[in-house]
Amino acid sequence: MVAALFTAAAAALGFAASASAQVTATGTMGSNNPPEPTMGTKINQTSMSRLVTVNSIDDFCIFGPPEPGKTIGETEGIQVAWCTQPRNNARVIPDGTLTAVHFVKTDFYVQVMALGDFTKIGLGADDYGGELDPHGATGEGNPVGGNVTSNVTGQEVHYQEWMEFLSYSQVCIRICTGENSTYPAATMCEHKLDEMGCNFVMPGDYSDKVFDTCEGEVAYPPGVYPVGESSYSSFAQRFTGTYTDNGTPVAYTVGDTATPSSVAMTPATSNCVKQTSIMANNVASGSKSGDSGPDAKATNEAAHAQAGNGGNNGAVGSTAPAFALAVTAGVVVLSAAAILL
């Protein structure tokens, strides 16, 4: 039933296999990053590289803390790249950190949903996390100088739009690799719902102790809901702040007043391939540095490590506002008052 409804809605919304316009990055590479994504770089667990690559279940990176002891919210501007394999001059996620990884490729984006013990990369045991994206409050990105690439189209491409949610036990990251006339990449990687968490913004399979690679249907953009056959509503997260007008602080509130009970739909997956774990990298928790040489590479390719134990919640949203119907025929209504977070 859900799949049938999605198929009909997808046609109306313009979801199609032809959504192949590559939304490539137009900015400069971060000063701490290599000029291009590179496999087999030296392991450096104090690296400040901020180049994230998402290629496959065994070869992906996330943004994570540069040091323990602070929350994601306190350090979002200086997060660094953590990768499953030695690459991009980045830090390496220690073996045993990840207890589940779901890798999904669609016509509009590639997405990783993972569970694990992210205290192994510096998160606090009670840090419910935060949201990272290429915009941030200043437009310079969170983290500043963060870049993303993927080769899921068959070649290495630097992409402009992405989003990540990370907590002590859950992470999800989406790189938007395509767009069409209805939904630009920025809409499919909508980044202003930072309190809603992975399950709302990137719905999918978050089962623990499962490692799989799947093809996926395209989800509705975050916060978008179909209304009837040709209209849609959007949800704007509630936010209260202040601005200064001629030296006088002025309080303001934007967004909707009720929280949606669920997402519009959870996209189906197909052609899934399961494996027992991700490829080992022979890096232990607490390691500082090392070399990724031929022997290490051969070991990595020959064995898959058994993942350790970790939690299965996190990157979860706090109670946030829900959606009020703002309907326009055939067009997503995005709140003009929404601000960059």
**What is the value of pTM for the model shown?**
0.76
Specify the pLDDT at position 308: 32
Q: Are 158 and 27 in contact (CB under 8 A)?
A: no
Which of 321, 200, 194 is CA-nearest to residue 258? 321
Specify the pLDDT at position 330: 32
Whole-number percent of the chain with pLDDT over 90: 51
Which of 25, 75, 41 is CA-nearest to residue 189? 25
Residue 185, burial from CB neighbour count under 10 angstroms (0-12, 13-18, 19+):
buried
Residue 290, burial from CB neighbour count under 10 angstroms (0-12, 13-18, 19+):
middle
Q: Are 164 and 315 in contact (CB under 8 A)?
A: no
Q: What 8-state DSSP symbol labels residue 172?
A: E
Specify the pLDDT at position 262: 66
**Cα(8)–Cα(137) distance, integer angstroms:** 37
Q: φ and ψ at 289, to 5 degrees?
A: -160, 170
Which of 86, 112, 281, 93 is CA-nearest to residue 213? 112
Q: Which residues pair with 102 in a beta bridge?
A: 113, 212
Q: Which SS3 state, helix, strand or coil, does residue 65 take?
A: coil
| pLDDT mean values, one per 10 residues, the chain (341 residues) | 40 45 76 94 97 98 96 94 98 98 97 98 93 87 95 94 95 95 88 74 95 95 73 59 82 61 82 97 78 40 32 38 30 31 33
Specify the pLDDT at position 140: 87
Specify the pLDDT at position 232: 63
Peptide bond into 222 cis (omega under 30): no
**Cα(181)–Cα(183) distance, integer angstroms:** 6
Q: φ and ψ at 308, to 5 degrees?
A: -90, -165
Specify the pLDDT at position 302: 34
Q: Are 107 and 215 in contact (CB under 8 A)?
A: no
Cα angle, residue 181 at apex, residues 177 and 185 outer, rounded to 5°? 30
For the stretch 81-102, pLDDT in tens is 999 999 999 999 999 999 999 9
Which of 315, 64, 336, 334 is CA-nearest to residue 195? 315
